Amino acid sequence: MPQSEKVRIRLQALDERLARLRMEKNRLIARVSQTERKRDTRRKILIGGAVLAAIDHEGVPPLRSIAELLNWLDGRLTRPHDRDVFDMTSHETTRGSFQPSADNC
């Protein structure tokens, strides 16, 4: 087989590999994007649930920053997977104490 034919075959194989890698990259980007959209939706649902629960109990304090919101949510979100959405550490509540949470909606 002539040298030019070998080079052409090698280039074709590299082009096919490059196309497969690009498709895989696009699939991974789409998966990350979808995961982030789901996480953002979950955050919005939890915030809404916490606000509705607070309206029923003590009212919602004025919140002027994300830090204030997260601090306010810290006492209300008790389930570990809910806290994970906001990157909060696990929350240990004492037995018998009631803390309004979005879980109670």
Domain definitions of the chain by residue range: 3-91
Does residue 100 register a pLDDT over 70? no
pLDDT value, residue 99: 46
Tokens matching residue 60: 């919602």
* Better-scored residue on pLDDT, 1 or 83: 83
Tell the residue number behind the tokens 């994007």, with chain if given: 33
pTM for the model? 0.63
* Better-scored residue on pLDDT, 1 or 16: 16
Residue type, 83: R
Q: Is the dihedral of CA 52, 54, 60, 61 positive or negative?
A: negative
Question: pLDDT tens across 24-77, in order?
Answer: 999 999 999 999 999 999 999 999 999 998 998 888 888 899 999 999 999 889
